[in-house]
Amino acid sequence: MTPRELIAFVGASASVRRNEKERSSAIGTREDIMLDKAPDGKMSDLLNALDKALSAGEVERAVDLFQTDCYWRDLVTFTWNIKTMEGTEQVRDMLKARLADTKPSNWKIADGEDASETDGIIESWIQFETEVARGFGHMRLKDGRIWTLLTTMSELKGHEEPLGFDRPMGAKHGAERNRKTWKEEREAEAAELGYSRQPYCVIVGGGQGGIALGARLRQLNVPTIIVEKNERPGDSWRKRYKSLCLHDPVWYDHLPYLPFPRNWPVFSPKDKIGDWLEMYTKVMELNYWGATECKKASYDQKSCEWTVIVQRDGKEVVLKPKQLVLATGMSAKPNIPKFEGMDIFKGDQHHSSQHPGPDKYKNKKAVVIGSNNSAHDICAALWEAGVDVTMVQRSTTHVVKSDSLMELGLASLYSEQAVQSGMTTAKADLIFASLPYKILHEFQIPVYNAIRERDADYYKRLEKAGFLLDYGDDDSGLFMKYLRRGSGYYIDVGASELVANGSIKLKSGVDVKKLKEHSVILTDGTELPADLVVYATGYGSMNGFAADLISREVADKVGKVWGLGSNTTKDPGPWEGEQRNMWKPTQQDALWFHGGNLHQSRHYSQFLSLQLKARMEGIPTPVYGLQEVHHLG
């Protein structure tokens, strides 16, 4: 699908859902703006009308420009939050609360862009300003009214990143006594920050999430320390199982500012991505404290300051930042099941995150508990090394072939074809962000239906081997599963064939009953002899890190991290509209969560960094629609 086709697809499926025609003649305020004009004209007229209504503070006139079933997704510009307003009632409520402060102006088609029309949907990149920021966004019009609106903050006025014409000089021309070199200045900063001078922000966790956010904060001149218990940047990837390569392709994985070179492999091997992160940390001049573990953090409501106790080089250091970001990884807190007999099992047993690789298990017997990504990768690597391996599948798994996912799921935005057709990473991210979560599954279902049709024989063979398949609760496939629960799938890079042909043995629909000294007993009574048991049983919520590092009370106050409230498996309702607690204010002042896959880390680090910068500069940041907490960790 080309980007244009994607939009057409979005439009087509929306018009099936509802018919807005009965409203289109009723509103007088926009009659003059929908004359028979080219898309640019229609879009500009709408933007002018919006501009006038908003500048005049006329909320009702502005609301009249929206479809009843509209979606306005705001990334920080109006709401100082990450928030989707669904329907005109919510748009009205938000504007009543935020319009006077926000003072938006200069709405227009983005410089150098044109509006386009496909199947009755007019869409365009747009730009606008608020009193304190410049914004960029995307708008889709249906029947002459706004159907989807994305507004994102690009930069804070007066606090722009030093880029392009504004890049630093580097050299200081002229003559100066006792001048310091760049290296000396960096060394001086490294020596004082966290000791004689406090950072404004501490990021706990120096995986790719902490690193991407650190890079953005560096450009915004927000003094920041990243603390990471591993020794070197990239170690969180290096320490994963030996055979791991990224499951997402390179076009989806770029970091901010510094894209991978054009010869970078499609699926990056884990040690290579580790090296890239290490290089990135260095060249982006991050204050990265490796081999430093955060032990405890507490917030003083009076001084609005955190006390963060870290262990660095065997010594305790106390940091006093104003803002604390937990970037400790959503796939980092292992879920280890408790089975009877684990204490008497004589072989090796470990969680998938601790699995060293297959080398020492040649000609031995392994049982892998679980059937998602890690389980498949580990089983395949064990089989390749000559290990007799059995996968134990308790419940259904969504499996999708990597090439089908790339071609049908991602290619329109993240692929070489997309690049060739002029798609940039930033635009791809924004198009993705412009699709409202509430209806995203509706666009995903046809994609996975097409994949099921295309790979029907493959799925039949897997089922014949006894593998229990699902396609998501509502058949919306992998990406929705990821956003809703962050688990429950395998992107097939080869292991499924081994399952289908019996090379990887499979026991499905059963659980582990207990372990004996040299075997695993399943609930159906099967006894599997084992020298190795791998628990590929996934990871716990980032909320658990808040409990460990801060307190159970604060963890409960902020509630569950991740998920949309879709009322599907492992993502209980009510509907939240955005991912819980991610990249936005939480119920605990000055506490933030950052992470996700490489795409999310790249994209949302921009909006989190701007929220932090605004606070540092004392720019008022009244949060609209702070999320309520419906679930504990």
Ligand X SMILES: Cc1cc2nc3c(=O)[nH]c(=O)nc-3n(C[C@H](O)[C@H](O)[C@H](O)COP(=O)(O)OP(=O)(O)OC[C@H]3O[C@@H](n4cnc5c(N)ncnc54)[C@H](O)[C@@H]3O)c2cc1C
Q: Which residues bind to ligand X, rule: CB under 6 A?
A: 204-210, 227-230, 236, 240, 244, 246-248, 293-294, 327-329, 331-332, 373-374, 549, 595, 597-598
Distance of alpha carbon 409 from alpha carbon 491, whole angstroms: 12
CB of 258 to ligand X, least distance (A): 16
Nearer to ligand X, 121 or 327 (CB): 327
Unique residue bearing structure tokens 């409202």: 436
Nearer to ligand X, 81 or 281 (CB): 281
Nearer to ligand X, 207 or 477 (CB): 207
CB of 555 to ligand X, least distance (A): 14
CB of 541 to ligand X, least distance (A): 13
Q: DSSP for 498-534, please give it.
A: HHHTTSSEEEES--EEEEETTEEEETTS-EEE-SEEE
CB of 269 to ligand X, least distance (A): 11
Distance of alpha carbon 348 from alpha carbon 366, whole angstroms: 9
Nearer to ligand X, 82 or 246 (CB): 246
Q: How many CB atoms lie within 10 A of CB 593?
A: 27
- HSE value, Cβ hemisphere, 13 Å, CA-based, for 52: 11
Nearer to ligand X, 209 or 347 (CB): 209
Angle, to 10 degrees, between the axis of helix 425-434 and the axis of helix 598-616? 90
Q: How many CB atoms lie within 10 A of CB 404?
A: 19
What strands lie across the sheet with 512-516, from one edge to the other? 512-516, 519-522, 527-529
Distance of alpha carbon 233 from alpha carbon 425, whole angstroms: 24
CB of 303 to ligand X, least distance (A): 23
CB of 126 to ligand X, least distance (A): 29
Distance of alpha carbon 56 from alpha carbon 59, whole angstroms: 9
Residue 501 φ then ψ, to 5°: -95, 5
110, 249, 627 from 322: Cα distances, Å:
36, 37, 21
Per the document, the length of the chain is 633
User: Which residues neighbour 618 within 8 Å (Cβ) at sequence distance 6 or greater?
Assistant: none
CB of 248 to ligand X, least distance (A): 4
CB of 255 to ligand X, least distance (A): 11
Nearer to ligand X, 88 or 281 (CB): 281
Helix (H, G, I), strand (E, B) or coil at 105: strand
Helix (H, G, I), strand (E, B) or coil at 131: coil
CB of 545 to ligand X, least distance (A): 6
Give start and end residues of each alpha helix (H) in 525-585.
543-549, 552-558
Nearer to ligand X, 255 or 512 (CB): 255
CB of 384 to ligand X, least distance (A): 17
- Contacts of 552-555 with C-beta under 8 Å, sequence gap 24+, read 554/299, 554/588, 554/591, 555/632, 555/633
Nearer to ligand X, 389 or 549 (CB): 549
Nearer to ligand X, 236 or 434 (CB): 236
Nearer to ligand X, 107 or 562 (CB): 562
267, 397, 398, 472, 506 from 477: Cα distances, Å:
21, 10, 7, 5, 23
Q: Decide if 533 contacts 329 (C-beta within 8 A).
A: no
CB of 504 to ligand X, least distance (A): 17
Residue 532 pairs in a beta bridge with 348, 366
Nearer to ligand X, 156 or 310 (CB): 310
